[in-house]
Copies of this chain bind each other. A is one copy, B any other.
Amino acid sequence: MHPFDHSTPGTAGMTTIHLDDLTPGTVIDLGRVTVTREEMLDFARRYDPQPIHLDDEAARAGIYGGLISSGWLTVSLCMRQIVDGFLGRAASLGSPGCDEVRWLRPVRPGDTLTYRAEILEVTPSRSKPDRGIARVRYEAANQHGEPVLRLTGMQMLARRPVGAAAAGTS
Contacts and interface: CB of A to CB of B under 8 A. Distances in A.
Interface of A: 46-50, 52, 62-64, 68, 70-72, 75-77, 79-80, 83, 87-88, 92-103, 106
A83 B48 contact: yes
Given A50-B88, A52-B94, A101-B99, A70 B63 contact: no
Nearest to A68: B94
A68 to B, nearest CB: 7
Nearest to A97: B102
A48 B100 contact: no
Given A47-B77, A48-B80, A80-B48, A101 B93 contact: no
B92 A52 contact: yes
Contacts of A52: 92, 94
Contacts of A62: 93
A96 B88 contact: no
B88 A79 contact: no
B47 A80 contact: yes
A79 B83 contact: no
B96 A102 contact: yes
B99 A100 contact: yes
Given A63-B93, A93-B63, A95-B103, A80 B49 contact: yes
A52 B63 CA distance: 40
